A and B are shown apart, each in its own frame.
Chain A
Amino acid sequence: MQGTIIENLSGKKLSVLVVLLIIAQIVCFLIGGLVAPRPASSQNILGTPCRDIRINGSEPGGGKWFYSRGKGSCIPVRFEEFDNHHQAFQVVYVFQMPIPRANEVLDYSRWQQNLIGVLQVDITYHSQMEIAPKTKITLDARLAYRNKGDPDDAWKPYGASVVERILECSIDTNMEQYIYNCSTVPLFELGSLYHDYYLLNIRLPADTEKNINQGLGHITDLWLTVINQNGGFTKVWVSLKTIYFPIVLCILVWHWRRVNMLSRAPALLEYMLLALGSALTFLNMPLEYMTLAFDMPFMLLLGDIRQGVFYATLLSFWLVFAGEHLMIQEGEQRNTLKCYWRHLSAVGVGCLSLFMFDMCERGVQLRNPFYSIWVTEIGTKLALSFIILAGVSAGIYLLFLTYMIWKVFMNISAKRAALPSMSSARRLHYEGVIYRFKFLMITTLLCASLTVIGFILGQVAEGQWKWDEDIELEMTSAFFTGVYGMWNIYILALLCLYAPSHKQWPIEPSENSVSDEIEFARLPTDPNEMLSLTAFARKSAME
């Protein structure tokens, strides 16, 4: 009879394969750590207050842009020189990105993928005018872009919105001239960095009647931090994808051809493997190359969806994998996904709620880059409920999975107790099967825990904010490429080792080989190509 490759692989070959995969894993980690720069970098830009010459507070025309560098740049206002007759709409905070360095005008590259803007408001403390811990701030934000070769004043509008944000400010020591500790305000997210230069004009409209921007206190500075993905990181990332994409695709095709060559219909586990492989291929697709030529603002959202689909499939696969090895099925009843609907609904609900949240946040940002779900009361509640729902689903899923794995191990140890009474050849065989099943379980656990540990370590390292100038290893990038490589290798290994094997069961030469053969003949051999683990399970259930 035939089994999967993992059961027929000799220990030596298996260990060689494992060593190769581990080496590949280490290479992935090192590529991230040594070649790639940090995943993202930021520029901190101090807003230049410029003076708008308009007398009345009418809507500024779309063509009027204020910029701080280049021909026709505005003359910055110094607030000490400002007399009391100016209106709020006449002060425009200008942020021109990126900032030049070393006397060179830098420009954004499409390799840098995305841009996230975070606003910080410096409010000086005056005992005469304290501000509330939570203040609503209204911003009239306009974003424009320009490309290389355009004249300095040829800014074209990208997006504009009057947005409200909540400023949470506190101060530890109530001292004059100190700056309030204000929370950062997420301002905009661009899913594509298609153009070369961007310009942000912010006004703080004031209206005494409508109580807009009245309780703001003494704003001294506006800071904008723009975070973009590093081009080097994108390059390394896309190269990894370019390498993995064809490999996984080939193995997937090979695996599926092998499954189809069997005389029986594919089993549930094989369908799950196919789904997993497809999800990984979807994730691996180097779509980032397209962003170099086309404006694809939906890439952030698409990236989230791709990761979501992959992890949903992976989580479902684990459930089914554990369930299919419960060794309690009887007869020829074939398992379908329906048997797992309770377990899988946890995955489904969790992923769906995260998807909804993502659509509400990043989906809307496709239309309005300044949109944020977190600013309104209802939006915050909605977002929180989505996230809580996802968290609860994750908890339920974990419970299900642990319970099932525990059951599998209980069954295995129960069967193991029966092993000594078996003949040596069968015993060796079952021990091998159990060993390899456990081996895979341990690999899975190892991969999952490595991901979690890496994630936590990354968080701790970042949280302490090291200026790791002299440490050449970029931990965050190494974590990302390491984890990415790990799941690729993990699934490659699954696809290879769980493909149906051509080999026959190795029969150990033994003195009472006749009785062994008789015993083997008693094994349920039709359909003789069923997954041997399931066969093993069924057979042991018979015993």
Chain B
Amino acid sequence: MLMQEVQWPWPMGDHRAPSWLAHEDYSTGRYVYAPRHVLPRHCRAYQEQVKMALCTWLLFLMRIYLALAASTASGTWINVGYQKFPQLEAMRALEVYEVGASPVCTGLKGLSQGQGKLCQLSQDHMPSVARGAKAGIAECQHQFRDRRWNCSTVDDGTVFGPVLGIASRETAFVHAVAAAGVVYSVSRACRDGQLSSCGCSRSGRPRDLNREWIWGGCGDNLEYGYKFTQAFVDVRERERSFKRGSREQGRSLMNLHNNEAGRRAVIKRSKVTCKCHGVSGSCSLITCWQQLASFREIGDYLLDKYDGATEVRVNRRGRLSIRDPRYTLPTANDLVYLDDSPNYCLRNLTIGSLGTQGRVCNRTSAGMDGCNLLCCGRGYNTQKTTIRERCECKFHWCCFVECKTCVRNVDIHTCK
């Protein structure tokens, strides 16, 4: 049978891709940055930027392997953005970050063992992580507002309930959007100046940071956000060892791939802006920087990827390969999934489906929000109502929006 493997390192596809993007070898589970021969240097760089050596990490992971202390943490780290954790809220106001053991991380439900360690090492990042996860959840709910599964959440620490237990497209999207949220929010916090521990240069933390910064400036914060997120989100999948080619390993590979796709979405959607400042302001000297897009744009991009996600499976060699060789290989920007989505039409709490009964649908739409598709052919009820809404708004800088109130009579359709 013709079988194509998902290739690593990923074909970059465009020359704009920053070289610090990870190239990973899933079969060995090792991080390899491009180019491969400079691993030690990057190791050091990595260490400084997230205050933890990759090298140390590998040792740490090996220790975990040896101890076979497989994480038993239930739920997901996304929980930090869902549940309200007073310690995170308080940190935002106080801005006092004490490195060392502190109660900030202990109460955070959903973090795996490695994530807990990372949390303690970089406590000041946690509000940003929480904000990012929160943005991810909100974006998921916005993107899926018209779909059968509407990104509904539950209050038990798993955030999305049993849905995440299935290796479906939806899980892929959730992982990607949450990772994207963290990249976005950490990068933003760095640029804000409030997250003061963002790394500086690619060569890691030099002995004399101030001198290094005067010599050659600092790297981009987007890179920092990417690398931090990579460490924080991916560590979950790396602290457990699986039998090669097993289902669990496939699931882990899928999560890693989708996390990466989410992180890259932020970079992919960011815009490059340049300024000429040479002699007399000419372009003999030009400086460029990355400008973040709105998170909505990133969400839309990921939804596109969700619709075009590729079904993969794990082969005996412990690599992902595509199910149907007729499809093109997914790149690092694409989402992959292992299993088909369950039927979200009917209420089935064991798979986390709330069913579409009672959902508002659009009678005239042919898309997913159309009554036909959303109600799964069960039909709909129609109710006449009058709604008042704001219209013809004018925004007055800074702080208020002047709107008229419009009254409309509408029919509201709800699924049976």
A469 touches B18 (CB 8 A): yes
Contacts of B291 in A (CB 8 A): 44, 120, 223
Complex contact B213–A101 (CB within 8 A): yes
Give residues of chain A (1-56) contacting chain B, Cβ–Cβ below 8 Å: 37-46, 48
Knowing A177-B294, A178-B296, A223-B191, the reply to whether A103 touches B397 (Cβ < 8 A) is no
Chain A residues closer than 8 Å to B221, beta-carbon distance? 44
Q: Which of B259-279 contact A (CB under 8 A)?
A: 271-275, 277, 279
Question: CB-nearest residue of chain B relative to A220?
Answer: B294
Contact A128 B392 (CB under 8 A): yes
B34 beta carbon closer than 8 Å to chain A: yes
Query: Which of A41, A218, A228, A463 has most B Cβ within 10 Å?
Result: A41
Contact partners of A459 in chain B: CB under 8 A: 283, 286
Contact B397 A216 (CB under 8 A): yes
Tell whether, in the assembled complex, residue A106 and residue B213 are in contact, meaning their CB atoms are under 8 Å apart.
Answer: yes
Judge whether B196 and A177 touch: CB under 8 Å. Answer: no
Taking a contact as CB atoms under 8 Å apart, the answer to whether A303 and B297 are in contact is no
Q: How large is the interface on A (under 10, 10 to 19, 20 to 34, 35 or more residues)?
A: 35 or more
- Chain B residues with Cβ below 8 Å from A111 are 214
Q: What chain B residues lie within 8 Å of A41 (beta carbons)?
A: 216-218, 287
Please state if B277 and A116 are interface contacts (CB–CB under 8 Å).
Answer: yes
Q: CA–CA, A181 to B273, complex, Å?
A: 11
Q: Which residues of B contact A40 (CB under 8 A)?
A: 217, 277, 285, 287
Q: Measured between alpha carbons, how far is A225 from B272 in the docked complex, in Å?
A: 12
Type the 1/0 row for A105-130, where 1 means its CB is closer than 8 Å to any CB of B. 11101011000101010101010110
User: B2 near A: Cβ within 8 Å?
Assistant: no
The distance in angstroms between the C-alpha atoms of A36 and B5, with both chains bound, is: 43
* Contact indicator B197/A102 (Cβ below 8 Å): yes
Q: Tell me the residues in window 186-232 of chain B with beta carbons closer than 8 Å to chain A beta carbons.
A: 188, 190-194, 196-200, 202, 205, 209-210, 213-218, 220-221, 223
| Residues of chain B lying within 8 A (CB to CB) of residue A186 | 275
Q: Does A411 contact B (CB under 8 A)?
A: no
- The yes or no answer to B19 lying at the interface (CB within 8 A) is yes
Pair A99/B289 contact, Cβ less than 8 Å: no
A529 at the binding interface (Cβ < 8 Å)? no
Q: A88-B398, A357-B280, A476-B285 are in contact. Are A230 and B273 (CB under 8 A)?
A: no
Pick the most buried of A46, A186, A208, A476: most chain B CB atoms within 10 A of its CB: A46
Which stretch, A79-87, A288-296, A412-420, A433-441, touches the partner chain B?
A: A79-87
Also in contact, A102 and B48, with CB within 8 A (given A41-B216, A84-B399, A358-B280): yes
Q: Which of chain B's residues 366-414 have a Cβ closer than 8 Å to chain A? A: 390-401, 403
How far, in Å, is B272 (CB) from chain A's closest CB? Answer: 5
Complex contact A184–B393 (CB within 8 A): no
Instruction: Flag B20-32 by CB within 8 Å of A: 1 or 0 each.
Output: 1000000000000
Chain B residues, CB < 8 A from A235:
215
Residues on A with beta carbons closer than 8 Å to the beta carbon of B390: 128
User: Which residues of chain A are within 8 angstroms of B273 by Cβ–Cβ distance?
Assistant: 120, 184, 225
A455, B285: Cβ atoms closer than 8 Å:
no
Asked whether B15 is an interface residue with its Cβ less than 8 Å from the other chain, the reply is yes
Name, among B20, B190, B200, B294, the residue most crowded by chain A CB atoms within 10 Å (CB to CB): B294
On B, residues with C-beta under 8 Å from A are 15-20, 34-35, 38, 48, 188, 190-194, 196-200, 202, 205, 209-210, 213-218, 220-221, 223, 271-275, 277, 279-281, 283-291, 293-294, 296-297, 300, 390-401, 403
